[in-house]
Amino acid sequence: KNLAEKIGELEVEYNEHALVINTITPMEGDRKAFRLVGGVLVQNTCGEVLPRVKENQEMIKNTLQLLENQLRTKEKAANAWKTKYGIQTQQEREMMERAQQQQK
């Protein structure tokens, strides 16, 4: 659950970075740009900010891939555990009962 929430947060951040990159790419390199760093607003130029934003976006992408792999691994382990011990959620049980009734 926590991994899925963190993945969602990082996807939003990744999309925000993409929006910023698309916005400042066509701008002149010496134009003023403001960037929030650790809660402090810092003034730079577009030429200075763009590479940093791209680098941050790449780091977010790598972290996202890592977390998604961890989530898949945990889901596989949980499914294997459920199968091993014959555990079903209420929804799964109801779906199986409906399927059995339809076959009759």
Question: Which tens digit of pLDDT belongs to each residue from 37-61?
Answer: 899 999 999 999 999 999 999 999 9
Report the 3 state secondary structure along the chain: CHHHHHHHHHHHHHHHHHHHHHHHCCCCCCCEEEEEECCEEEEEEHHHHHHHHHHHHHHHHHHHHHHHHHHHHHHHHHHHHHHHHCCCCHHHHHHHHHHHHHHC
What is the number of other CB atoms lying within 10 angstroms of the CB of residue 75?
12
> pLDDT at position 42, please?
95
**pTM of the model as a whole:** 0.79
> pLDDT at position 60, please?
98
Q: Is-contact 34 42, C-beta < 8 A? A: yes
Which residues of the chain have a pLDDT value below 70?
A: 104
Q: Is-contact 25 50, C-beta < 8 A? A: yes
Question: For residue 61, which of 100, 10, 6, 19 has the smallest C-alpha distance?
Answer: 10
**What sign has the CA pseudo-torsion 56, 15, 33, 50?**
positive
> pLDDT at position 86, please?
86
> pLDDT at position 89, please?
86
> pLDDT at position 63, please?
97
> pLDDT at position 88, please?
85
